């Protein structure tokens, strides 16, 4: 049974998604600027936007399995915007680090990116995600034809890099990162056929 919603409802849902994604961000920065974000607002905004980006990334990966399994085809219309919000949160995450943590010390910023493996990994994931965000424009998608899908399959690698980045960044509290590993693994299970196909492609070569 396919559940579908009337086409004219979609824009309203989209407004809801925009609000759900933007409200926490606006709230966060308002609290940070007005000193209502605990003892260290810098750490708070970095962590919030980092975890937020990862959550949105995982939600975007949940959409196509849900749409297929429960025939909720209309959900596919939200995948791009959720993916783009993951990118926006990730961008905020990095800008927070640059603006508030290293405070525009570009040399320190670059040193940290190359010297610290977990930051190198996170930055690699961000650069890949940027490529996906840029090519999400419909015009480019049509132009790229089947190369578009190949590029956007990198989302599986990006999500993995981000989870490792999180795991690597903590001092000792590894349980939360391990939960994210489990969620990532579950999302990959939905795609086992696709993944197995690739593995065959690699091994038979």
Partner 1 sequence: MIIKTTSTSDCKEHDVTDENIYHQRRELIKKMGFLGAGSLLSSSAGASILDIFRDDKIPPSLFSQNKLDYKAINGFDEELTPEAKITGHNNFYEFGVEKQQPAELSQSFNVNPWTLKISGEVENPLTLGYDELYSSFDLEERIYRLRCVEAWSMVVPWIGFSLADLVKKAKPTSRAKYLSFETLYDPVQMPGQRSRRLGGGLDYPYIEGLRIDEAMNPLALMSVGLYGKTLPPQNGAPIRLILPWKYGFKSIKSIVGIKFVERQPATTWNLLAANEYGFYANVNPTVDHPRWSQASERRITSGGIFAQNRIPTLPFNGYGKQVADLYSGMNLRKYY
Binding residues for partner 1, rule: CB under 8 A, are: 32-43, 45, 100-103, 105, 108, 111-112, 115-118, 168-169, 171-176
We find the least distance from the C-beta atom of residue 114 to partner 1, in angstroms, to be 12
- Residue 167: partners with Cβ closer than 8 Å, 6 or more residues away: 174, 177, 178, 180, 181
- Closest C-alpha among 56, 50, 136, 130 to residue 94: 50
With respect to partner 1, which residue has the nearer C-beta, 41 or 83? 41
- How far apart, in whole angstroms, are the C-alpha atoms of residue 30 and residue 59? 25
Q: What are phi and psi of 142, to 5 degrees?
A: -65, -40
With respect to partner 1, which residue has the nearer C-beta, 31 or 66? 31
We find the least distance from the C-beta atom of residue 113 to partner 1, in angstroms, to be 12
Tokens of 189: 């299970």
We find the least distance from the C-beta atom of residue 183 to partner 1, in angstroms, to be 16
We find the least distance from the C-beta atom of residue 205 to partner 1, in angstroms, to be 37
With respect to partner 1, which residue has the nearer C-beta, 42 or 155? 42
We find the least distance from the C-beta atom of residue 155 to partner 1, in angstroms, to be 26
CB 41 within 8 A of CB 32: yes
With respect to partner 1, which residue has the nearer C-beta, 34 or 146? 34
Rg (CA), the chain: 19
Tokens of 122: 């996170």
- How far apart, in whole angstroms, are the C-alpha atoms of residue 36 and residue 101? 18
Helices then strands, each counted (H, E), the chain: 10, 0
With respect to partner 1, which residue has the nearer C-beta, 64 or 120? 120
């Amino acid at each position: 049974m396919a559940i579908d919603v009337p086409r004219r409802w979609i824009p309203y849902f989209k407004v809801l998604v925009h609000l759900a994604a933007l409200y926490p961000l606006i709230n966060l920065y308002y609290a940070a600027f007005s000193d209502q974000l605990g003892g260290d607002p810098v750490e708070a905004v970095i962590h919030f936007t980092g975890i937020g980006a990862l959550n949105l990334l995982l939600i975007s990966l949940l959409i196509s399995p849900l749409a297929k399994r429960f025939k909720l085809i209309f959900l596919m219309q939200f995948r791009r915007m959720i993916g783009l919000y993951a990118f926006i949160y990730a961008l905020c995450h990095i800008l927070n680090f640059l603006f508030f943590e290293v405070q525009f010390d570009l040399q320190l910023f670059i040193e940290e990116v190359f010297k610290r493996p977990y930051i190198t990994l996170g930055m690699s994931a961000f650069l890949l995600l940027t490529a996906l965000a840029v090519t999400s424009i419909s015009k480019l998608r049509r132009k790229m034809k089947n190369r578009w899908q190949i590029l956007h399959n990198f989302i599986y690698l990006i999500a993995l890099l981000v989870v490792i980045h999180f795991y690597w960044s903590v001092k000792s509290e590894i349980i939360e990162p391990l939960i994210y590993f489990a969620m990532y693994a579950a999302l990959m299970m939905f795609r086992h056929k696709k993944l197995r196909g690739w593995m065959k492609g690699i091994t038979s070569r």
